Amino acid sequence: MAKVADSYFKVDPWKVVEEGFDPEYGLTAESVFSLGNEYMGVRGYFEEGYSGSRLLGSYFNGVYERQKADAPGYKGIVQETEFMVNSLDWLHVRIRAREEELNLATSKVSDFYRELDLQSGCLTRSFAWETKQGTLKLCFERLISMVHSEEAAQRITVSSEDYQGELKICIGLDFDTVHGGDKKLWDIPERKAEANKCYIKGRTKVTGMEVESFCHISGSFTEKWSATPVSEDDKAAVEYSIQIAKGEKVILEKKVINITPLAKNSQTGSAAWSRLEQMSFDGMLAESKSWWADVWNKSDIEILGDEENQQGIRFCISQMFQTYHGAIEGTNIGAKGLTGEAYNGNAFWDTETYCLPFFLFHDKQAARNLLYFRYATLDEARKRAQALDCKGAFYPIATISGRECCSLWQHASLQLQASTAVAYGIWCYEKITADTSFVEEYGLEMLIEISRMLATRGDYNADHTRYGYYCVMGPDEFQMMVNQNCYTNYMGRFTFRYTLEVMERMKKQAPESLAKVKAKVGFDEKEGHDWQEKADAMYIPYDEERQIFEQHEGYFELPHVDVDAIPVEEFPLYNHWSYDRIYRNDMIKQPDVLMFLLLFNSSFSQDIIRKNYEFYEPRCIHESSLSPSVHSILAQQLNRPEEAFDFFRFATRMDLDNYNRNSGEGLHTTSIAAAWMNIVYGFGGLRSDGEMLSMAPGIPKQWDGYKFRVVYGEEVLCVEVDRKSVRLHTQKGGEISMKIYGQICKIAGETMEFAMK
């Protein structure tokens, strides 16, 4: 782990603060100061225009464009990809003081201050603009509603210190955004502007998706103000001309309703206009504070004695909820959330593997919605299976609408873990929420189709003694076209068995639902026998003597690379090594064997986990931001507290400290989810894959204590850990049977205390 923090923001337990503006950190700050509410997201860009380096990014979940892929035309290789398209700049404003236009790249500015308040969700920025004619103080506030997904607001306050004269503020909606640095992708079929109001409609050229925005502007208007509607090019706005006197203060407040095809309340036209008149910035702020208060009451993690990580984990939790909380149907979690266009806004298997646990332990409905996305896109997965000469359903490795969006066949055609992760997600959902309705209504259909794929994508070896997957890429993306990948086979076997188990159980518990699903998918009992046979014959490469799983057939024979000897300037390897060279040795990019040892942790002895950790950890180069977290959790389990803390820190402050030097492109959303796992699964030692919930908390020596809560069944389990003991109780007084340090206990309303082990 040669990664080093690049600290910039001020540490504060409830805020992210930037004092003074350094353009070098401009892009990173834009990502970190992103706001989002699952439906829409906006980077922390300077809304008044800025000629320095930046990414003016404004995104709507599920609003995507399509493009031809740069890929050879062989069967099964994706020829068109979809990407979340950079969209409307609804924060658009331009400010002129006489002949000077405000632009932080060129204007003279002092006292720059910016803060994201994690308790209100409000982003505030203020500074003094020293124009040639005198100084103006500006304050920009912005807010995206967490309650009404389509709504957002902006407030601009300008106070004159010693400036006198004309001020021009053009405020409105602008579709002049570029995607990927240079592509203009919006047609503007409609726009209009009148005094204090404007409206615009954009339409993507290929997918024809429409985004409509209604905007209402109010302010401290006086007779000295004049308003000119501006409706030109890609813009609908109102330009205010104001005569400002020394010491005077003016305020402009913009409220918007953005309607996309995914809008829950698509109140357009007059409904939108009247709704806008009811809204106010302060009203929305109060609503937002209350929403966030609920979140922190339910989901806060407190860390005593470590302010940096306290800030880090709260930033992560806040980002998780901004990215997703089950507010709307049909959305998923992009690799960068709604904070950037890298990875094309595509969702990966990270959703089920890294993000789902957070929601499973906080909001059952959000978790269910997330899984439902896979059901809603099952038909696309069926088509994808066909394209790959398989039966059943093959889930995409990267997607927005359910279609595969990865045009690199070596990922899209070889990685089966997106499909098995869906099965794993369904299993976790059942296990943690104790809600069997999802699997009965939706889950089984997916499980059957995934099993069908697994039964046709795999093969028996030459002498027909071993079943498994040939030419795959496991979670470790530095081993390509391998055979009998341990992870893939393990997950394949799990999926077959879980599918059969669900069917067996439903025979008794939900025979009608079972019959319905079987009829729908045309299930043949012979298929079940086939899956049973294949599961039983599934080959899990394992060295009995050393008790080490072999990542894939032949892995132990591979040339060894000393990952610590690779010069730091060669990272990332994708950019500095010949593409094929990456794959020619035993170096791994991210956990593969260790991954399933975590996912099915309770199935393996501490001894086996230790041996495999000791073998694979030194071979891992952590070129995935998801890698350290798994290592942190397992290191804690194996009583390697220093290593655990080291890996932990990296994920928790990944973006605040820009560890990977690419936070400017957007936040590492799934690593953010992993940061939560690091504390709850890692230090807290929570495990949910066994017969019952279990916990074995430890505490890093750097901390005095920590607290967290998880929702489990109908209860909230409250956990407090200090250096000597662990205290647990349930919030509502209900009983939870669970293991603490291996001992079965019943946790209830009364706090139970356990000595730290």
Q: How many CB atoms lie within 10 A of CB 3?
A: 19
Of these, 512, 544, 569, 575, which contacts its own copies (CB under 8 A)? 575
548-567: contacts with its own copies (CB under 8 A): 553-554, 556-560
Of these, 14, 273, 291, 577, which contacts its own copies (CB under 8 A)? 577
φ, ψ at 63 (rounded to 5°): -100, 110
- Nearer Cβ to its own copies (188/408): 408
* Closest CB 120 distance from its own copies, rounded Å: 42
Query: Does 70 participate in binding its own copies (rule CB under 8 A)?
Result: yes
- Nearer Cβ to its own copies (181/559): 559
455 in helix, strand or coil? Answer: helix
Query: Does 387 participate in binding its own copies (rule CB under 8 A)?
Result: yes
Burial code (b: 16+ CB inside 10 Å, e: under 16) for 29-57 equals bbbbbbbbbbbbbbbbbbbbbbeeebbbb
Query: Does 228 participate in binding its own copies (rule CB under 8 A)?
Result: no
- Nearer Cβ to its own copies (70/525): 70
Which residue bears the tokens 């040795």?
Answer: 585
- Nearer Cβ to its own copies (128/558): 558
* Closest CB 73 distance from its own copies, rounded Å: 9
Query: Does 690 participate in binding its own copies (rule CB under 8 A)?
Result: no
Query: Does 585 participate in binding its own copies (rule CB under 8 A)?
Result: yes
Q: Pick the piece of the chain touching its own copies (CB under 8 A) from 102-110, 208-216, 456-464, 660-668.
A: 456-464
Amino acid found at 139: C
* Closest CB 557 distance from its own copies, rounded Å: 5
Which stretches of 383-506 are assigned E, i.e. beta strand? 459-460, 467-468
- C-beta separation of 165 from 246 below 8 A: no
Per-position DSSP letters for 489-552, written without gaps between them: HHHHHHHHHHHHHHHHHHHHH-HHHHHHHHHHHT--HHHHHHHHHHHHHB---EETTTTEE-SS
Q: How far is residue 722's CA from residue 699's CA, in Å, rounded to a whole number? A: 7
* Closest CB 579 distance from its own copies, rounded Å: 4
Query: Does 546 participate in binding its own copies (rule CB under 8 A)?
Result: no
Residues in contact with its own copies, shown as a per-residue x/- string from 5 to 34 under the rule CB under 8 A: ------------------------------
Of these, 7, 579, 743, 752, which contacts its own copies (CB under 8 A)? 579
- Nearer Cβ to its own copies (227/388): 388
- DSSP type of residue 568: G
- Nearer Cβ to its own copies (113/409): 409
* Closest CB 357 distance from its own copies, rounded Å: 31
> Which residues, 6 or more positions from 140, have their beta carbon under 8 angstroms from its beta carbon?
47, 48, 124, 125, 126, 154, 155, 156
- C-beta separation of 281 from 141 below 8 A: yes
Q: How far is residue 531's CA from residue 394's CA, in Å, rounded to a whole number? A: 16
Tell me, by CB under 8 A, how many residues bind its own copies.
Answer: 43
Q: How far is residue 295's CA from residue 26's CA, in Å, rounded to a whole number? A: 29
249-268: contacts with its own copies (CB under 8 A): none
- DSSP type of residue 232: E
- DSSP type of residue 125: E
* Closest CB 712 distance from its own copies, rounded Å: 41
Closest CA to 479 of 630, 619, 582, 631: 582
Of these, 525, 545, 580, 750, which contacts its own copies (CB under 8 A)? 580
Query: Does 52 participate in binding its own copies (rule CB under 8 A)?
Result: no
- Nearer Cβ to its own copies (278/575): 575
Q: Pick the piece of the chain touching its own copies (CB under 8 A) from 265-273, 285-293, 572-580, 741-749.
A: 572-580
* Closest CB 258 distance from its own copies, rounded Å: 34
Longest C-alpha distance within the chain, in Å?
90
* Closest CB 222 distance from its own copies, rounded Å: 56
Residues in contact with its own copies, shown as a per-residue x/- string from 75 to 104 under the rule CB under 8 A: xxx---------------------------
Per-position DSSP letters for 525-538, written without gaps between them: HHHHHHHHHHHHHB
Q: What are the Cα distances from residue 456, in Å, to 460, 501, 590?
A: 11, 20, 27
* Closest CB 584 distance from its own copies, rounded Å: 4
- Nearer Cβ to its own copies (291/409): 409
Q: How far is residue 55's CA from residue 664's CA, in Å, rounded to a whole number? A: 8
Enclosing H/E stretch for 322? helix 307-323
Q: How many CB atoms lie within 10 A of CB 742?
A: 9
Of these, 112, 113, 460, 600, which contacts its own copies (CB under 8 A)? 460
Residues binding its own copies (CB under 8 A)? 70-72, 74-77, 387-390, 408-409, 413-414, 459-462, 470-471, 480-481, 483, 553-554, 556-560, 574-581, 583-586
